[in-house]
Amino acid sequence: MNNDKKYFERIAEYGQLIVISGPSGVGKRTILKEYMNEHPNACTCTSVTTRDPRPGETDGKEHYFISHLEFERMVRSHQLLEYGYYKRNGMEFLGRR
């Protein structure tokens, strides 16, 4: 039980990274919205994508929508935490922006 207490003390001091991952349409945004409602001190990282915005999406809210050229510049200048290439015409990554 002592180890559990130390674990939660570390989370309280340093925070905890939670990754919500899954295919399109499985409800990641719904889960995130509910989590954020229950944990008001939590923060999110907004990803960057080269795809066009979907109806209802706002630049800087769900994603930052950038050009392929800007994406490649960010890759070369090491501004990304991670990145991937999808479907040859779209690229997404988590980055420092």
Count of H-run helices and E-run strands, the chain: 3, 4
Instruction: Give pTM, 2 decimals.
Output: 0.60
Q: What are phi and psi of 26, to 5 degrees?
A: -90, -5
Encoding tokens for residue 84? Answer: 């991937």
Residue-wise pLDDT tens digits, 18-50: 888 888 889 998 999 999 999 888 888 888 999
pLDDT of residue 8: 82
Give pLDDT, residue 89.
Answer: 55
| Residue 12 burial (C-beta neighbours within 10 Å; 0-12, 13-18, 19+) | exposed
CB burial class (10 A; 0-12, 13-18, 19+) of residue 94?
A: middle
Alpha helices in the chain (DSSP H): 2-14, 28-38, 68-76
User: Per-residue pLDDT tens for 75-95?
Assistant: 999 998 888 877 655 555 555
